[in-house]
Structure 1
Amino acid sequence: MTSSNNPVGGHVPVAGGLATGGLKYAAEIGAETVQVFVSNPRGWALPEGKPAEDAKLRERDDVTVYVHTPYLVNFGSPSEETLAKSVATVRHSLLRGHAIGARGVVVHTGSAVTQSYDEAMKQVREHVLPLLEEIPEGGPDLLLEPMAGQGNMLCAKVQDLGEFFERLDHHPRLGVCFDTCHAFAAGHDLAAPGGAARTMDELVAAVGENRLKLVHANDSKDACGSAKDRHENIGAGRIGEEPFAELFRHPAVAGVPFVIETPGRGAEPHAKDVATLKRLRDG
């Protein structure tokens, strides 16, 4: 059953069906929460759902569900085609998320590519605010995920989220997905004594309380500040185990689910990471 504190789970493959395949894998790794793709993560195709599969996910009250949008989405892009496809894709993810009972839809904060930060952020307001207004009652929140700091990224440090929330009028359906590997790569030294707690304090200062809705729990293959988004299994990377325990103890993280996106083929390495996080949570 789902912990009343912090459900722990993982991103699950959906071969064999969104619910059938996804929930089977969730059981194999001991997941209390899952994250899924509802379309090709590296494409623009927007498939329809299957009502029977959707109902299976929607009716499971022991597993919370989240959707991750495709990686191509970028509201800071200077390309009109990319912008239009990004809007359509996030709208599709929100609608599909509502159909499966998802609590949140995760979207990367994107890059300005070749244009200025201000031009890109004007586009964020123009295109994301209407999507937030469209979310139906009972539908998922839209969760902004800061990046690792590579390229002309719009948001990497948690402080950068403040400008996003300002541009989007602190919309009530707006939340944050905090990725530990991304934050570490961007320069938040989670491995330093008190580093994880300090970063959570900075996040709350930037966006306010109760905006953190999901944690992507990933160790890092690379050093703090590397701007390299390379995930490692929990405790096997440069972050180590203790910062995850420190996150669980922080008031801003109370009740927030943790989802792993760690390396490895098959259920075994992911089951180990889920078990490690549960031990740190319950210790």
Structure 2
Amino acid sequence: MSPRRLSPARLRNPVGSHVPVAGGLAKKGLAKARELGCESVQVFVANARGWATPDGDPREDEAFRTACEQARIPAYVHAPYLINFGSHTPATATASVNSMRHSLRRAREIGALGVVVHTGSATGGRTRQTALAQVRELVLPLLDELDRDDDPLFLLEPTAGQGFSLCSLAEDLGPYLDALDRHPRLGICLDTCHAFAAGHDLAPAGGMKALLDELVAVAGEGRLRLIHANDSKAGAGSRLDRHENIGVGRIGAAAFQEIFSHPATEGVPLIIETPGGKDEKGHGRDIRRLKQLRRI
């Protein structure tokens, strides 16, 4: 897979956070990112739990894009959680396409490198094969629309395995990518909490390396484009998506250190989505912890 463009960041793995943007992408979002010491950033461009597709503020978009470029901060968009390309409900399937198209357009407007979307589930009692056929029908046209040099990548985020998940384990990425013809605009966003909950035991020494090795074997080199670095409140194989602060949960800090030495993560940013705690101080602590692990 050839990248759309290289991340402008000079660091091997820029560490950052998902930041709130109510009040303005640049005015509020980047202010929070600077406060936390972010080297990378992720935002929503719509209600995370709704179908609205709001227009952006051109002045905020320009300020956000310019500031990220000048500070060499790679930015990403997370698509709304309601999106499910495998849904048996026609209204949900249609809304998912419209919502994702909106996130992709807004990502281009703010200079984001990729849009993260959950891989969804097979609902209504349908088989995985039937649901994946619908994923192909709905998603391939969206991928083919990404024909501009400044278009973002379409980043698939496997889930924690709850319900009738279409993609949670690394091995599930093979059929999912095949359904989409392994399109060159497709990338992977690995969420460490999701992978752990789905059944990849990352806590023992070498656990994270084994997952990354398998991911490369299944998806191919260069597909991994973003990592959501989250510890887990629940155990391996629990299928519970319960994020915890770095080193406090069941995964442990040592596993995150393995991320920084694996060849597949070269140039891949890390974004935390961990509990903030009082005044969101937990986010700052997690970013500092990951930076310490990176130095080691």
Query: Could you say which TM-score interval applies, normalised by the shorter chain?
Result: over 0.9
Q: What's the TM-score, normalizing by structure 2?
A: 0.94
Hey, what's the Cα distance between the residues in 1 that align with 2:288 and 2:191? 19
Cross-structure match for 2:89:
79
Hey, what's the Cα distance between the residues in 2 that align with 1:15 and 1:49? 12
Does residue 268 (structure 1) correspond to residue 278 (structure 2)? The answer is: no
Contact map agreement 2:87 2:123 (CA 8 A) in 1: yes
Contact map agreement 1:107 1:145 (CA 8 A) in 2: yes
Contact map agreement 1:55 1:100 (CA 8 A) in 2: yes
1:51 CA drift (Å): 0.6
Contact map agreement 1:28 1:267 (CA 8 A) in 2: no
Cα deviations by residue, 1:48-99 (Å, 9 ceiling, x for unpaired): 0111111112112221110000000000000000000000000000000000
Does residue 44 (structure 1) correspond to residue 51 (structure 2)? The answer is: yes
Cross-structure match for 1:172:
184
Hey, what's the Cα distance between the residues in 2 that align with 1:3 and 1:254? 11
Cross-structure match for 1:125:
136
1:137 CA drift (Å): 2.2
Corresponding residue SS for 2:164:
coil
Q: What's the TM-score, normalizing by structure 1?
A: 0.98
Greater displacement, 69-78 / 16-25: 16-25
Cross-structure match for 2:41:
34
Q: How many residues align?
A: 283
Q: CA RMSD in A?
A: 1.0
Equivalence map 1:50-65=2 (5 Å): 50-59=57-66, 60-61=68-69, 62=71, 63-65=73-75
Select which of 123, 145, 155 maps to 1:134: 145
Cross-structure match for 2:217:
205
Contact map agreement 2:203 2:251 (CA 8 A) in 1: yes
Corresponding residue SS for 1:54:
helix
Does residue 91 (structure 1) correspond to residue 117 (structure 2)? The answer is: no
Hey, what's the Cα distance between the residues in 2 that align with 1:199 and 1:164? 17
Cα deviations by residue, 1:136-173 (Å, 9 ceiling, x for unpaired): 22210000000001110000001101111111111110
Cross-structure match for 2:4:
none
Select which of 186, 193, 207 maps to 1:195: 207
Contact map agreement 1:3 1:32 (CA 8 A) in 2: no
Hey, what's the Cα distance between the residues in 2 that align with 1:15 and 1:270? 18
Corresponding residue SS for 1:42:
coil
Does residue 113 (structure 1) correspond to residue 120 (structure 2)? The answer is: no
Corresponding residue SS for 2:134:
helix
Corresponding residue SS for 1:19:
helix
Corresponding residue SS for 2:25:
coil
Q: Which AA in structure 1 matches 2:19?
A: V
Hey, what's the Cα distance between the residues in 1 that align with 2:78 and 2:92? 18
1:267 CA drift (Å): 3.6
Contact map agreement 1:19 1:56 (CA 8 A) in 2: yes
Contact map agreement 1:6 1:257 (CA 8 A) in 2: yes
1:4 CA drift (Å): 2.1
Corresponding residue SS for 1:256:
coil
Contact map agreement 2:205 2:254 (CA 8 A) in 1: no
Cross-structure match for 1:235:
247
Cross-structure match for 1:144:
156
Structure 1 vs Structure 2: percent identity of aligned residues? 57
Contact map agreement 2:188 2:226 (CA 8 A) in 1: yes
Q: Which AA in structure 1 matches 2:96?
A: S
